[in-house]
Amino acid sequence: MAGRNGTIVTEFFLTAFSEHPECGLPLFLVFLSFYLLTLLGNAGMVLLIRVDGRLHTPMYFFLGHLSFVDMCYSSAIVPQMLAVLLEHGATLSYSRCAAQFFFFTFFASIDCYLLAIMAYDRYVAVCRPLLYVTVMTEKALWGLVAGAYGAGLSSAFVRTVTAFTISFCGNNEIDFIFCDLPPLLKLTCGDSYTQEVVIIVFATFVMPLCVVVILVSYLFIIRAILQIRSAGGRAKTFSTCASHLTAVSLFFGTLIFMYLRDNSGQSSEEDRVVSVLYTVVTPMLNPFIYSLRNKEVKQAFRKALYRTKASGKP
């Protein structure tokens, strides 16, 4: 199965968590429940936004797309990870590994851009409330979302083509939960300088660019909040941003830890734990973060629940 002594690799063998085979079934059940919660929570959020007219606002328009992307993002990784846990390893063909890497990069990039766009939306709502309706028009909303999808597609295409134009040889075992670039680079048998540059370019222009947009937006938001005289007014205004800040911290915190650090001397187990956080846990938590901390979402949920109960009565 594994290529050795310079043999060109044509398939990869994922072995994440294989050093603890007794944990395979418990982890499988835990991650399966997380995945089902991810699908249920995000699908419920998308449906709730579509059916409740009070949620037909720019903020929830972006949140609906974020929930949809989170479902796709998790689905690109978790089913394969479940197979690895259940079978104590899984073989992926070269093309299947490339496809998984492409979709992961595509949806992760869109997540980054959407979170940055949502920060800009909050900036306009808090700092330029009189211009909000004229700035956040339907045309502008679709333009921003289309830009996020287009930028994500470009990033995924460039990184995938660059990563899979090199040769992999020797041991084809990947001690990771999916086909990601850092573990793949350990299998290269030639000069991987170009691929490492791609990682740096992605880390430099995608994540920090989005983080800068978010930080600048919230600096203006905080300044505007501090100018509000009443404590109740400050708390009410900040509450509209609290859910987004929590989601941003979870997503970017784990991604930055994974990609913007020196990987030398880091353990594969540490990398796997971090990767589980941003591929499994964060997409699962997002709908709960936005529902538990958002009065409008809770009211819409209660209304939908009441309608369901009422329709079930004879």
Q: Which residues contact 236 (CB under 8 A, 6 or more apart)?
A: none
Q: Which residue has the higher pLDDT, 171 or 58?
A: 58
- Output the pLDDT for position 55: 84
65, 310 contact by CB (below 8 A):
no
Tokens of 281: 């846990």
Handedness of CA 185, 24, 276, 46 (dihedral sign): positive
Q: Which residue has the higher pLDDT, 29 or 250?
A: 29
Q: Which helix (H) or strand (E) is 128 found in, with range?
A: none
pLDDT band at 313 (very low <50, low <70, confident <90, very high): low
What are the boundaries of each domain within the chain? 11-260+272-299
Residue type, 177: I
What mean pLDDT do residues 235-254 have? 80
Q: Which helix (H) or strand (E) is 261 found in, with range?
A: none
Q: Identify the DSSP state of 131.
A: G
Say how many CA atoms lie within 13 Å of 62 toward its Cβ. 26
pTM: 0.86
Say how many CA atoms lie within 13 Å of 272 toward its Cβ. 18
**Of residues 163, 255, 264, the one with CA closest to residue 209:** 255
Characterize the bridge pairing of strands 90-93 and 11-14. Answer: antiparallel
Mean of all residue pLDDT scores within the chain = 81
Q: Which residue has the higher pLDDT, 219 or 291?
A: 219
Taking the C-alpha atoms of residue 46 and residue 25, their distance in angstroms, rounded to an integer, is 31
pLDDT band at 2 (very low <50, low <70, confident <90, very high): very low
pLDDT band at 83 (very low <50, low <70, confident <90, very high): confident
H-helix segments, the chain: 24-51, 58-75, 78-87, 94-127, 132-135, 138-163, 181-185, 193-205, 207-226, 231-259, 268-276, 282-292, 295-312
Secondary structure (DSSP) of 173-231: EE-SSS--HHHHHTTBSS--HHHHHHHHHHHHHTHHHHHHHHHHHHHHHHHHHHT--SH
pLDDT value at 134 more than 90: yes
**Of residues 173, 172, 187, 175, the one with CA closest to residue 20:** 175
- Output the pLDDT for position 199: 65
Taking the C-alpha atoms of residue 225 and residue 239, their distance in angstroms, rounded to an integer, is 11
- Output the pLDDT for position 144: 96
- Output the pLDDT for position 118: 93
Q: Give the least confident one: 175-189, 190-204, 206-220.
A: 190-204
Q: Which residue has the higher pLDDT, 37 or 202?
A: 37
pLDDT value at 116 more than 80: yes
pLDDT value at 164 more than 50: yes
Q: Which residue has the higher pLDDT, 102 or 301?
A: 102
14, 174 contact by CB (below 8 A):
yes
The b/e string for 25-59 (b: 16+ C-beta within 10 A; e otherwise) is eebbeebbebbeebbebbeebbebbeebeebebbb
Task: Map tokens 């670039």 to a residue.
Answer: 181
Q: Give the least confident one: 79-83, 99-103, 178-182, 253-257.
A: 253-257
- CATH superfamily for 11-260+272-299 is Rhodopsin 7-helix transmembrane proteins (1.20.1070.10)
What mean pLDDT do residues 53-71 have? 91
Highest mean pLDDT among 1-5, 28-32, 190-194: 28-32
